[in-house]
Amino acid sequence: MAEEMLRILEMMIRRRTISPDVNRRKNMESLVAAHERLWLLRHPEKDV
């Protein structure tokens, strides 16, 4: 479910807008953070 939601968010951010999007950088940072959290959930560190 999380992966599908990220895919949809990516599509929304990548779409072209008529006017410049002043929040694009913030949106991209949030998207990257969400991808990182998903990756960490899928690849938990193993106890040493």
* 31 neighbors 10 (Cβ within 8 angstroms): yes
pLDDT tens string 17-29: 666 667 777 888 8
- Per-residue pLDDT at 7 exceeds 60: yes
Q: Does residue 38 form part of some domain?
A: yes
Question: What pLDDT does 20 receive?
Answer: 66
Q: Does residue 39 form part of some domain?
A: yes
Domain residue limits at 43: 1-11+22-48
Mean pLDDT of the chain: 80
Number of domains in the chain: 1
The overall pTM is greater than 0.75: no
Max intra-chain CA distance, the chain? 52
Q: Does residue 1 form part of some domain?
A: yes
* 32 neighbors 13 (Cβ within 8 angstroms): no
Q: Which residues contact 2 (CB under 8 A, 6 or more apart)?
A: 34, 38, 41
